């Protein structure tokens, strides 16, 4: 189930990824996932593997993995199996992109711009706003605009490849007819609710059961790694304290954002807002941007002064701070999930803090990090390693978890017993209502509906999203499996199922075929990419090392 959910994440559409806010932005230059301070050249470094006779560096692989995950860097609590799924998906991505290049599949700047302009988050007053777009990428996330656009460009190329594969997919008439019937036939159903609180009240867990649960699930109690960093801060001056921008700068800003400073009438007519009306806002925006930019430049100068000279000599963080009269602060310990809300900083602060490494000159200092009130430069300090606590520290939590597990097992057992009894009564000729009465179940009737239109407000019913997939293939007189709705469960009886109007089924056929093409296209795409990996004679260094039993994985 976890792998299925993960696959749905990594195959989401580009627009969803944009709106979901899954990106990262470097304040000066992009240094890739899990790096900070000084960046190595992307074309050098250790090899992650060989594909089509060409080496793939660890940095190149990390970037591909980063893109494959929708530009998310750290996914917590992943099993080894899911991590292998991610790794395989990353190799597929690299193989597919190499094949796209070989086939001459390219993405034009116009196609790229069209995709980006469709995103509502980058629009103002009904039109694309370049300043809003660049600001959103640069201030809220952690990649520069060029890296973000490369991510979108690659995804468009991959979708073109998938479209080529989909053009060769064929569905048998019987398959299409059966699926059309499943979504257009009219269902009349009865629902019986199985209440957890009545069928399986919450039990108490004994100390032995709590200990047994703890021993069987130690990772559930793991205390995450916590870090403490040292930092200097460069306060961002108040925007109003900045000099007013020149009139030509204000005019240039206004001209570059005409879509933002326009109104759209009901008939579609675009009317520019007079400059004088929005001048104060523009001045404020420019002053705010100038305040952040100048402060960030100061912080970047500080970072650059910490870099070693050509002889390998470098000023220390403490020495440079003292030279510039800057106080060094030490943060409290915090985990990646907790952050430091008292500093009014975003996820970039946490991301860079947890990736710092005191033992590495290239990773002991962060890039400048923009907060609400200051720009920060971090220095690695110390950490509290992740650990499994002693049982005595978490005995109360373990007891609670054990009780919940005990209740869950009893609830599933009772639901199964009741379903068997109801099924037997139905076979003997009882109605569904009569079959449920001995078990104290309340039965409700759902008005006739079809799967395709039951999302409409007039045809909706409770737990429809769980019930519909479960009954689509059931015939009249059938009983569903136990459907868990959290915290309770349902039994669904199909009282009647009537064929749809042929005209309705015909009208939905194109939509169904498109959905089938997309679903099967994803499956075929993965299999095709695996074939490319075989043909490209992939050599995965990590897999090779694992097979050798290397310990540094």
Has residue 384 got a pLDDT over 60?
A: yes
Tell me what pLDDT residue 454 has: 54
CA atoms within 13 A on the CB side of 129: 20
Please give the mean pLDDT across all residues of the chain. 83
Residue 432 burial by Cβ neighbours in a 10 Å radius (0-12, 13-18, 19+): buried
CATH architecture of 186-213+391-498: Roll (3.10)
Region 450-478 average pLDDT: 81
> What residues form DSSP beta bridges with 493?
190, 479
β-bridge mates for residue 445, sequence order = 190
Joined tokens for residue 177: 């007819």
- Say which CATH topology domain 2-171+521-548 has: Triger factor/SurA peptide-binding fold (1.10.4030)
Instruction: Judge contact between 477 and 462, C-beta under 8 A.
Output: no
**Is the predicted pLDDT of residue 24 greater than 80, yes or no?**
no
* 107-124: burial string, b at 16+ Cβ within 10 Å, e else: beeeeeeebbeebeebbb
CA neighbor of 231 nearest in space, from 141, 157, 331, 308: 331
Model pLDDT, residue 41 = 41
Q: What is the pTM (predicted TM-score) of this model? A: 0.58
Residue 505: φ, ψ to 5°: -60, -40
pLDDT band at 349 (very low <50, low <70, confident <90, very high): very high
Rounded to the nearest angstrom, the gap between the alpha carbon of residue 539 and the centroid of all alpha carbons in its chain is 29
- Supply 247's token pair: 């009139």
Peptide bond connecting 487 to the previous residue in cis, omega within 30 degrees of 0: yes
Distance CA 550, CA 92 (A): 25
Higher pLDDT, 19 or 285: 285
Return the DSSP state at 140.
Answer: I
HSE of 182 in the Cβ direction (CA atoms, 13 Å)? Answer: 15
For the cut 90, the answer to whether the pLDDT of residue 497 exceeds it is yes
User: Of 201, 203, 200, 199, nearest to 436 (Cα)?
Assistant: 199
Name the residue ranges covered by the structural domains of the chain: 2-171+521-548, 186-213+391-498, 226-384
pLDDT surpasses 70 at 44: no
Q: Is 250 helix (H, G, I), strand (E, B) or coil?
A: helix
Residue 35 pLDDT exceeds 70: no
Confidence of residue 518 (pLDDT cuts 50, 70, 90): confident
Question: Would you tell me how many other CB atoms lie within 10 Å of the CB of residue 6?
Answer: 20
Q: What is the mean pLDDT of residues 462-490?
A: 93
Window from 68-77, 115-124, 383-392 with minimum mean pLDDT: 68-77
Q: How far apart are CA 308 and CA 232, in angstroms?
A: 19
Q: Before 407, cis peptide (omega within 30)?
A: no
> Mean of the pLDDT values across residues 101-115?
92
- Is residue 8 within 8 A of residue 122, CB to CB? The reply is no
In degrees and rounded to multiples of 5, residue 139 shows phi and psi of -100, -30
Residue/partner pairs of 129-137 with CB below 8 Å, 24 or more apart = 129/257, 129/259, 129/260, 130/256, 130/257, 131/253, 131/256, 131/257, 131/260, 131/285, 132/260, 137/23, 137/25
Lowest-pLDDT choice from 63-67, 149-153, 370-374, 542-546: 542-546
Decide: 480 and 460 in contact? Cβ < 8 Å.
no
Sign of the C-alpha dihedral computed for residues 10, 13, 16 and 18 taken in this order: positive
Query: Which of residues 115 and 266 earns the better pLDDT score?
Result: 115
CA 47/CA 62 separation, integer angstroms: 11
Tokens 């009249």 identify what position?
476
Residue 309 is given by DSSP the state -
Exposure of 368 by Cβ count < 10 A (0-12 exposed, 13-18 middle, 19+ buried)? buried
Buried b (16+ CB within 10 A) or exposed e, 14-52: bbebbeeebbbbbbeebbbbebbbbbeeeeeeeebbebb
Once rounded to an integer, what is the mean pLDDT over residues 230-247?
Answer: 91
Which helix or strand (DSSP H or E) is residue 490 part of?
A: strand 489-498
pLDDT: is 422 or 344 the higher one?
422
Tokens at 476, concatenated: 């009249």
Tokens of 438: 């001995």
Three-point CA angle 319, 322, 327, nearest 5°: 120
pLDDT confidence of residue 234 = 96
Give the pLDDT band of residue 266 (cuts 50, 70, 90): low
**34: pLDDT strictly greater than 50:** no
What are the tens digits of pLDDT across the range 134-183? 877 866 556 778 888 999 999 999 989 888 887 777 777 787 778 888 88
Query: What tens digit of pLDDT does each residue of 184-229 get?
Result: 889 999 999 999 999 999 999 999 999 999 999 999 999 999 999 9
Q: The tokens 């973000």 sit on which residue?
A: 148
CA–CA dist 379, 231 (Å, integer): 6
> Rounded mean pLDDT of 349-354?
90
Q: Residue 543: which pLDDT band, with cuts at 50, 70 and 90?
A: low
pLDDT at 443: 95
Sign of CA dihedral 45, 50, 54, 60: negative
Q: How many residues does the chain have?
A: 553
Task: Note whether 454 and 461 are within 8 A (CB).
Answer: yes
Confidence of residue 306 (pLDDT cuts 50, 70, 90): very high
* Calpha distance 381→333 (Å, rounded): 10
């Amino acid at each position: 189930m976890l792998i299925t959910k993960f696959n749905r994440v990594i195959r989401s559409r580009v627009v969803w990824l944009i709106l979901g806010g899954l990106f990262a932005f470097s304040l000066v230059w992009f240094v890739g996932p899990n790096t900070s301070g000084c960046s190595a050249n992307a074309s050098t470094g250790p090899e992650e593997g060989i594909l089509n006779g060409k080496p793939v560096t660890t940095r190149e692989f990390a970037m591909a993995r980063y893109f494959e995950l929708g530009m998310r860097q750290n996914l917590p609590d992943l099993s080894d199996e899911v991590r292998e799924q991610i790794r395989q998906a990353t190799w597929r991505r690299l193989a597919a992109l190499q094949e796209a290049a070989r086939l001459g599949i390219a993405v034009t700047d116009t196609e790229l711009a069209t995709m980006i302009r469709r995103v509502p988050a980058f629009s103002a007053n009904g039109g694309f706003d370049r300043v809003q777009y660049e600001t959103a990428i640069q201030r809220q996330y952690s990649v520069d605009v060029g890296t973000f656009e490369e991510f979108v460009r690659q995804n468009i190329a991959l979708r073109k490849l998938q479209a080529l594969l989909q053009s060769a997919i064929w569905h048998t008439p019987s398959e299409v007819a059966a699926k059309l019937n499943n979504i257009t036939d009219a269902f009349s159903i009865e629902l019986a609710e199985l209440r957890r609180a009545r069928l399986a009240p919450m039990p108490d867990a004994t100390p032995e059961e709590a200990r047994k649960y703890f021993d069987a699930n130690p990772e559930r109690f793991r205390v995450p790694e916590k870090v403490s960093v040292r930092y200097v801060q460069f306060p961002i001056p108040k925007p109003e304290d900045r000099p007013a921008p020149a009139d030509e700068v204000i005019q240039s800003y206004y001209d570059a954002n005409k879509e933002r400073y326009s109104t759209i009438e009901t008939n579609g007519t675009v009317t520019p807002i007079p400059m004088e009306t929005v001048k104060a806002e523009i001045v404020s925006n420019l002053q705010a941007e100038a305040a952040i930019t100048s402060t960030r430049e100061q912080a970047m100068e500080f970072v650059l002064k910490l870099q070693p000279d050509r002889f390998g000599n470098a000023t220390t963080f403490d020495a440079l701070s003292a030279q510039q009269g800057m106080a060094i602060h030490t943060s409290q310990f915090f985990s990646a999930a907790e952050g430091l809300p008292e500093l009014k900083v975003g996820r970039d602060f946490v991301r860079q803090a947890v990736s710092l490494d005191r033992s590495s000159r290239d990773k002991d200092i962060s890039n400048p990090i923009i907060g609400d009130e200051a720009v920060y430069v971090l220095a690695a300090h110390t950490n509290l390693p992740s650990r499994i606590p002693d049982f005595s520290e978490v005995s109360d939590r373990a007891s609670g978890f054990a009780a919940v597990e005990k209740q869950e097992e009893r609830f599933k057992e009772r639901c199964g017993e009741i379903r068997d009894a109801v099924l037997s009564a139905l076979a003997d000729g009882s109605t569904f209502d009569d079959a449920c009465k001995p078990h104290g179940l309340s039965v409700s009737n759902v008005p006739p509906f079809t799967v395709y239109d039951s999302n409409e407000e007039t045809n909706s019913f409770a737990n429809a999203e769980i019930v519909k997939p479960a009954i689509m293939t059931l015939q009249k007189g059938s009983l569903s499996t136990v459907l868990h709705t959290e915290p309770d469960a349902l039994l669904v009886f199909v009282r009647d199922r009537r064929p749809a109007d042929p005209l309705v089924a015909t009208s939905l056929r194109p939509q169904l075929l498109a959905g089938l093409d997309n679903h099967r296209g994803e499956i075929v795409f993965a299999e095709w990419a695996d074939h490319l990996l075989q043909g490209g004679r992939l050599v995965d260094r990590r897999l090779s090392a694992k097979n050798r039993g290397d310990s540094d994985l």
